[in-house]
Structure 1
Amino acid sequence: MILLNYQKRILEKRIPFLNIGDTIQIYLEIFEGNKKRIQQYTGILISKRNNSTNTTITVRKTINQIGVEKIFPIYSPKILKIEVLKSVYCRKSKLYFLRKLQGKKNLFRQKN
Structure 2
Amino acid sequence: MDKIKLVENLFVKKENIPVFSVGDTVKVLVKIPEGDKFRIHPFEGTVIETRGEGMAASFTVRKMSYGEGVERTFPLYASTIEGIELVKKGRVKRARLYYLRGRIGKATKIEEQKAGNEK
TM-score by length of 2: 0.86
Q: Distance in 1 between matches of 2:6 and 2:35?
A: 33
Write the deviation string for residues 71-106 of structure 1: whole angstroms up to 9, x where unpaired.
000101111110110111100000000000000011
In structure 2, the CA distance between the partners of 1:49 and 1:4, relative to structure 1 (3 Å rule), is: closer
Question: What secondary structure does 1:9 align onto?
Answer: helix
1:13 matched residue in structure 2: 14
Q: Distance in 2 between matches of 1:109 and 1:39?
A: 27
Q: Distance in 1 between matches of 2:5 and 2:107?
A: 45
The structure where strand makes up a greater share of residues is 1
Identity %: 31
In structure 2, the CA distance between the partners of 1:65 and 1:77, relative to structure 1 (3 Å rule), is: same
Structural RMSD (CA):
1.7
Q: Distance in 2 between matches of 1:87 and 1:4?
A: 30
Q: Distance in 2 between matches of 1:89 and 1:3?
A: 35
2:65 matched residue in structure 1: 63
Number of matched pairs: 112
2:117 matched residue in structure 1: none
Q: Distance in 2 between matches of 1:62 and 1:106?
A: 10
1:96 matched residue in structure 2: 98
TM-score by length of 1: 0.91
- Structure 1 alignment gaps of length 5 or more: none
Q: Distance in 2 between matches of 1:109 and 1:41?
A: 21
Q: Distance in 2 between matches of 1:6 and 1:32?
A: 33
